[in-house]
Structure 1
Amino acid sequence: MDLKYARLHASKRLLVPFSSYMRSHRNNLFISAMRLQGGERVIDLGGTVEFWDSVLVPLNLTVLNLPGEPHDYSKSSHHNVSCVEGDACKITNYSDQSFDIVFSNSVIEHVGGPEKQRMMAREVRRLAPRYWVQTPSIWFPIEAHTYMPFWWFYPEPVKAYFMRSWFRKLPEWTEMIQGTSVLSHREMRELFPEAKIMTEHLIGITKSYIAVRA
């Protein structure tokens, strides 16, 4: 393995226990906040079928991803799963209030700049009366995508240096980093004015924000 990328892989492995804990904690919060009874129509914007394995309440689950993204049509699940293609910023497949709940985990920061984020927020609010939209916070010491400490506070020339280095070996991943636009608590509140903006913590440090409308 190239030593330049050994840190990325090592950091990811070290964070696995924390990620697993946060996923389980977040799923329990979701189940509680949405008062799931079973059978709810849920659309997951930009997610995976595997993510829902630990949500034991059986759901009518639709997983939407961009065309060309991998789709797990054949996976066995305790949910009634449908995988579809579409753009979370402009969903033409479904009319208003087609679902009971919209769910999105760490996606809105990847759709583009502020206008694209506003478009996705409008789609979330249009598709269902209830929703749960999570996004990472810049204040957590280890950035969720690069695994670099305090990545968002680096001067632009320093970030550009790393980007050039990463792009030579990991172009698609680097493009994903370049297209990431993180949101503040205030920006989440502006995008989802009728929601409660929950702050998620890990070891007392702000890790993410969740717009919840139950």
Structure 2
Amino acid sequence: MSRLNALRSRFVDAPDSLGAKARARRWNWFAESFPDLSSMSVIDLGGTASAWLRAPVQPAHVQIVNLETPPADLPGWLRADVADACALPPGILDTHYDLVFSNAVIEHVGGHLRRRMFADSVHRLAERHWVQTPYRYFPVEPHFLFPGFQYLPIAARTALLRRWPLVHTPTSDREAARNIVMEVELLSITEMRHYFPSSEIRFERLGGLVKSVLAIKEK
């Protein structure tokens, strides 16, 4: 078990892991796409304060929207609100932002209708956006680090999750495991183009294969 956990760390969690290097490249790409980022107000749908505090970039102001309660002590440039990104309250929807940012969230919101509502929030909040999601047809499912996990029946995924030690949040409880696997619905390129028809669709690749899909609108 410890060897497998060390393997997860090597590939995803450790500072020198493949996952960490991919995240660093993505931050650099993000900064290059929006060179005036340091003067922008950004709303992050589904992000976390810890991610921004570790990030190599710092906009003038970041407002995070997440369903989880944020930390109490945040720097002045960072604000966090508890809200549903698919059904934002008027106080957020009526605020002007320069940019909407979202990293690996749209695959978690729950079904086509909710993804449509999420995309509508993105389009309403700002002229520009950066929305990233893992690609459905990359061979290794990124949340569970198991080849072809996303193509298996729910019962098989549930059984695997209860035993596979490389997952981010392991559980031996059957109902909890089933809820976890049903909560993730990876998207295709076609779906991302449908939700973001006026965006430029770009790709992150690993080993020549598309690993994640990004909808980017720079102007």
* TM-score, L = length of structure 1: 0.85
- Change beyond 3 A, Cα 1:15–1:75: farther
Partners in 2 of 1:158 and 1:170 — Cα distance? 11
Which residue of the partner structure matches residue 73 of structure 1?
Answer: 72
Q: Give the equivalent residue in structure 1 for 2:166.
A: none
Cα distance change of structure 1 residues 131 and 58 upon mapping to structure 2, 3 Å threshold? closer
1:95 offset after TM fit, Å?
Answer: 3.1
CA contact (8 A) 1:198 1:211 kept: yes
Measured in 2, the distance between the counterparts of 1:29 and 1:100 equals 18
Mapping 1:55-204, distance limit 5 Å: 55-66=56-67, 69-76=68-75, 80-92=77-89, 93-96=91-94, 98-162=96-160, 168-169=172-173, 172=176, 174-204=178-208
Q: What is the match of residue 25 of structure 2?
A: 25
> In 2 relative to 1, CA 11–147 (structure 1 residues): closer, same or farther, beyond 3 Å?
farther
Task: Tell me the distance in 2 between the aligned counterparts of 1:59 and 1:179.
Answer: 33
Residue aligning to 2:46? 46
Q: Secondary structure at the match of 1:168?
A: coil
1:140 shift after superposition: 2.4
- Where structure 1 has 5 or more consecutive residues not aligned to the other structure, the ranges are none
Unaligned runs of 5+ in 2: 164-169
Equivalent residue in structure 2 for 1:207, among 183, 195, 211? 211
**Identity between Structure 1 and Structure 2 (%):** 33
Q: How far did residue 73 of structure 1 move? A: 3.2
| CA distance, structure 2, for counterparts of residue 195 and residue 99 of structure 1 | 17
- Once residues 144 and 30 of structure 1 are traced to their aligned partners in structure 2, the CA distance between those partners, rounded to angstroms, is 20
Give the number of aligned pairs: 206
Is this contact kept in 2: 1:89–1:119, CA < 8 A?
yes
Task: Look up the SS of the partner of 2:86 in the other structure.
Answer: coil
Asked if structure 2 preserves the Cα contact closer than 8 Å seen for 1:197 and 1:211, the reply is yes
In structure 2, what is the Cα distance between the partners aligned to 1:124 and 1:167?
Answer: 33
- Cα 1:155–1:20 change in 2 (3 A) is same
Contact 2:203 2:214 in 1 (8 A): yes
Distance 1:21 1:94, change over 3 A: same
Taking structure 1 as reference, are residues 175 and 32 closer, same or farther at Cα in structure 2, changes over 3 Å only?
A: same
| Pairwise CA distance, 1:158 | 2.8
Instruction: Check conservation: 1:105, 1:134, Cα contact below 8 A.
Output: yes
Shift of 1:62: 0.5
Q: Secondary structure at the match of 2:121?
A: helix
TM-score normalised by the chain length of structure 2: 0.84
Indicate the SS of the match to 2:39: coil
Return closer, same or farther for 1:157/1:86 CA change in 2, 3 Å cut-off. closer
